[in-house]
Amino acid sequence: MNVNFPAGVRDGQLIRLAGRGAEGFYGGPPGDLFLRVVLKPHPRFHRRGDHDLDVDLPITPSQAALGATATVQTPTGSAQIRVPAGSSSGRRLRLRGRGLPKRGGGSGDLHAVVKIVVPKTLSDRERELYEQLAESPGPGEQEA
C-alpha cells in the first residue's frame, strides 16, 4: 500500500486512511486504517521541535578565530554560511527557511552548530604557530 504523507507530519501523529481498514462485521464496508508516524532519526540532521533542524558545522580553529565562509549541508543540498570571527564550539548559526516544511506552507529554520575540529597531524610550521599561540595570554589572562 502506498501512502502519501502530508508536509509537516510530526512524530507520533496519526494518519487516517478512510475505508482502507479491515472489512466490517457481517460483510459491512471496510473501516478506517490509522497509521502512527514514527520518524527515524537522520544521521546528519537532528530535529529541533516540529520544523527546525540542527546540523554540525565542522570548522578549523583558525576559521573560528578569524571568521570564514563555510559550506553547510542542508536537506536540499549545500549552502554557504558566514562564520563570524571569534566563534566558539556550540555557537548556532541560523539559515532561515532551510528546515522542514510546515503544513500551511513555508519551512522551519536550519541551525548550523559550530564544532571546532583540531587537525590530527600538524606540519612543523603549524606546530610552531600553535606553540606561539600557546605562549600568548588566553581569555581572562593578562600579559605580565
User: So what's the pLDDT on residue 80?
Assistant: 96
Domain boundaries, the chain: 1-40, 44-119
Helical ranges in the chain per DSSP H? 61-66, 124-135
Burial class (CB in 10 A: 0-12, 13-18, 19+), 139: exposed
- Residue 111 contacts residue 96 (beta carbons within 8 Å): no
Which region, left, alpha or beta, applies to residue 5 given φ > 0 means left and ψ of -120 to 50 means alpha?
Answer: beta
CATH of 44-119, one of 3.40.50.2300, 1.10.10.10, 2.60.260.20, 2.60.120.200: 2.60.260.20
User: So what's the pLDDT on residue 91?
Assistant: 97
User: So what's the pLDDT on residue 137?
Assistant: 79
Q: What parts of the chain have a pLDDT lower than 50?
A: none
Supply the pTM of this predicted model.
0.74
Placement of cell 473501516 in the chain? 31
DSSP E strands, 1-144: 14-17, 33-36, 45-48, 52-59, 68-74, 77-83, 92-95, 110-116
Q: Nearest CA to 39 among 100, 130, 127?
A: 100
